[in-house]
Amino acid sequence: MTNETQHFHGEYKVIGGKLVVADVTTDGQTITEVKISGDFFLEPEEAYFDLAPALVGASVTADNAALRGRLDEALAGYGSELAMHGFSTADIATVVRRALGSAANFTDFDWQVIRGEVLPTQLNVALDQVLLEEVAAGRRQPTLRFWEWEDTATVIGAFQSYVNELRPEGVEKYDVQVVRRISGGGAMFMEGGNCITYSMFVPPALVAGLDYEESYVFLDQWVLAALKTLGVEAFYKPINDISSTGGKIGGAAQKRNRDGTLLHHATMSYDIDADKMVEVLRIGEAKISDKGVASAKKRVDPLRSQTGEARKDIIDVMADTFATRYGATYGTYTEEELKRAQELVDEKFGTEKWTHRVP
């Protein structure tokens, strides 16, 4: 590291809270000066003047826990008098880390939204790898895309066991296309129109300074806002579940490229045939309860029942919410991207070797 003076600026909107801003100066090795500001509330007022000194001297590589520890120690003397409204010491640590990591905001990028054409599930899964590589290479701008499909499929996580997750008799009975994706997480039972799935392809700077769990909540704030517009009070249930006052709605998964470019995608239940799902997937009682299925003899329909809206209308609201908040424009896939995705289906996603990589 150098010993040159460097200045950094970071902003972090606390989920459900206030804006916290950090202006940080370092000598390349340690923090030498800090200014914390924002629209938060803090009592007693004197506590504010202990925030910055607590961080001076910390290593520029200090993680969230180390920075939070310094802040907690500095504020411990206020005891029960201390009241932090709209933010916490963890949020201050996060914004400092984002500043030092030269983090960006959504509006710093030219986003594209793709309202996808109907494609086979194998091709949709392959496109996630293609677009991740394209964004990482700088050939495509950051992108949000919505999947459309008509086949009956189950998309399993990168590390799930084929035999542990699927019932072969159900797969055969319903002619289910089983596809393994590149991200971790659980299985997705997907028939045309039964759920809403989207993928985001995110530059590393957007999630700089955020840990794994924080990145999920941060990247899906637009989704929660869209659902609120539709009358659904949605929130994140750690680590990666999207839930609401009416029960679980869906879940998210991620895959990071070597350079830090991120694939973040989520599937939310619209109107799933639970009988068919449990014939295809090996879902235990605990998992069924987690998916909001009190009994197998019903449908899993949180988005349909909680909004009363058609699936297309929900996606319209979601896409428009994202475009309005972040200044995104609408686009489509290139011929080269679709061609490369088909090649990956032939070479990888459509092969027994990849599908059964974890037997």
Is residue 287's pLDDT more than 80?
no
* DSSP letters for 43-69: ESGGGGGGHHHHHTT-BTT--HHHHHH
Name the one residue in this structure whose structure tokens are 């998916």. 291
Tell me if 8 sits within 8 A of 28, measured CB to CB.
no
Instruction: Provide the 8-state DSSP code for 253.
Output: E
Cα separation, 264 vs 206, whole angstroms = 12
Q: pTM (2 decimals)? A: 0.89
pLDDT in tens, 5-60: 999 999 999 988 999 999 999 999 999 999 999 999 999 999 999 999 999 999 99
Cα separation, 64 vs 67, whole angstroms = 5
Count each helix (H run) and each strand (E run) in the chain, helices first.
Answer: 14, 18
Is residue 288's pLDDT more than 90?
no
Give the containing element (helix H, strand E) for 183.
none
pLDDT in tens, 334-352: 999 999 999 999 999 999 9
Question: Which residues, at least 6 apart from 154, have a Cβ–Cβ distance to it below 8 Å?
Answer: 165, 166, 171, 176, 177, 178, 179, 187, 188, 189, 190, 280, 281
Three-class secondary structure of residue 340 per DSSP: helix
pLDDT in tens, 184-231: 999 999 999 999 999 999 999 999 999 888 899 999 999 999 999 999
pLDDT in tens, 222-257: 999 999 999 999 999 988 999 998 889 999 999 999
pLDDT in tens, 261-277: 999 999 999 999 999 99
Amino acid at 242: I
